[in-house]
C-alpha cells in the first residue's frame, strides 16, 4: 500500500506553511496501524509551475491513494474538500507569477469530485476534539489546482480505486484553536488509514461516476 502525501511550502502571506510541518509529522508517527503502508512525502513549491512536478510524482510513484494538505488561514476548522474546480484566479505564487490560463485544463470538465466520503471523516475528527467539516470550496489557488490535477490523474487509472483527498488546515498555525500539533497529527493519521481502507476496496464497490464532473 503506497500513499503519497503532498503539502506546500511558503507563499505570500504565509512565511511558514503548517501543511509542510504536519505532513512531516505524519512520516514520524509510530502507529501499529500504519505498518505496511509506504508513505512518500512531496513538498511542492507554492508555484503554478509546480503542478507539472506533481503530475510527474504521481506517474512515478503510482500511489494507491493521495492525501493533499494545504492551509486556509482564514478558516477556523479543518475543511475536508469534496471537489476541485477547473478554474484559477489571478493570484501571484511564491515566485510572483500568475497562472498561465483561466482554466486548469482547456478541454477538461468544469469540476471533479472525490469519491472519499467527507462527512464521516469530519465526524471522526470531531470525535477526537478537532473541529472539522466538509467543504465544497477549495478556492481557486494552488490548493484547488493540485486537487484538480490529482483527481484527474486518479480518474485516468483503471483496475482499482485511487482515492484522493484534499484537507485544508485552518489558521496560520494549521490547526484549530486549542488543538495541539500532536493531536492534529493523530487526526490526520486517521485520514491516512481511511484512504488506505478505501484503496483496498474492490473496484466494483466504488461508484463508477466517482471522478466524473458534476453538471
Using alpha carbons, list the distances in angstroms from residue 28 to 15, 21, 111, 160, 176: 23, 11, 34, 28, 21
Confidence of residue 187 (pLDDT cuts 50, 70, 90): very high
What is d(CA 27, CA 92) in angstroms, rounded to the nearest whole number?
30
pLDDT-above-70 percentage for the chain = 92
Residue, of 142 and 208, whose pLDDT is higher: 142
- As a whole number, the mean pLDDT across the chain is 89
pLDDT at 213 over 50: no
pLDDT at 180 over 70: yes
Which of 15-24, 30-39, 204-213 is predicted least confidently? 204-213
Sign of CA dihedral 30, 45, 137, 110: negative
> Which 8-state DSSP code applies to residue 34?
G
User: Which residue's C-alpha cell is 495541539?
Assistant: 180
Q: What residue segments make up the domains of the chain, in order of their start?
A: 2-205
Q: pLDDT per residue over 81-114, tens digit each? A: 999 999 999 888 999 999 999 999 999 999 999 9
pLDDT confidence of residue 202? 66
pLDDT confidence of residue 203? 55
**What 3-state class would DSSP assign to 187?**
helix
Residue, of 159 and 112, whose pLDDT is higher: 112
Residue, of 203 and 70, whose pLDDT is higher: 70
What is the mean pLDDT of the segment spanning 70-74?
Answer: 93
Q: pLDDT per residue over 133-149, tens digit each? A: 999 999 999 999 999 99
Q: Which residues contact 61 (CB under 8 A, 6 or more apart)?
A: 2, 4, 40
Q: Fold for 2-205, please state it.
A: Aminopeptidase (3.40.630)
Amino acid at each position: 500500500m503506497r500513499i503519497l502525501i503532498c503539502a506546500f511550502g511558503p507563499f505570500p502571506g504565509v512565511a511558514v506553511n503548517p501543511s509542510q510541518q504536519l505532513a512531516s509529522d505524519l512520516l514520524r508517527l509510530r502507529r501499529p496501524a500504519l505498518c505496511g503502508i509506504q508513505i512518500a512525502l512531496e513538498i511542492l513549491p507554492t508555484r503554478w509551475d509546480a503542478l507539472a512536478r506533481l503530475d510527474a510524482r504521481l506517474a512515478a510513484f503510482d500511489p494507491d491513494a493521495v492525501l493533499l494538505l494545504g492551509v486556509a488561514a482564514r478558516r477556523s476548522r479543518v475543511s475536508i474538500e469534496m471537489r476541485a474546480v477547473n478554474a484559477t484566479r489571478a493570484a501571484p505564487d511564491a515566485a510572483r507569477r500568475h497562472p498561465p490560463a483561466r482554466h486548469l485544463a482547456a478541454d477538461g470538465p468544469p469540476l471533479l469530485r472525490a469519491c472519499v466520503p467527507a462527512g464521516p471523516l469530519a465526524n471522526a475528527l470531531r470525535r477526537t476534539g478537532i473541529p472539522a467539516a466538509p467543504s465544497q470550496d477549495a478556492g481557486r489557488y494552488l490548493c484547488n489546482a493540485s486537487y484538480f490535477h490529482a483527481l484527474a490523474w486518479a480518474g485516468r487509472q483503471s483496475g482499482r480505486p485511487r482515492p484522493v483527498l484534499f484537507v485544508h488546515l485552518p489558521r496560520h498555525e494549521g490547526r484549530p484553536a486549542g488543538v495541539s500539533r500532536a493531536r492534529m497529527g493523530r487526526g490526520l493519521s486517521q485520514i491516512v488509514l481511511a484512504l488506505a481502507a478505501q484503496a483496498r476496496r474492490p473496484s466494483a464497490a466504488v461508484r463508477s461516476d466517482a471522478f466524473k464532473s458534476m453538471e
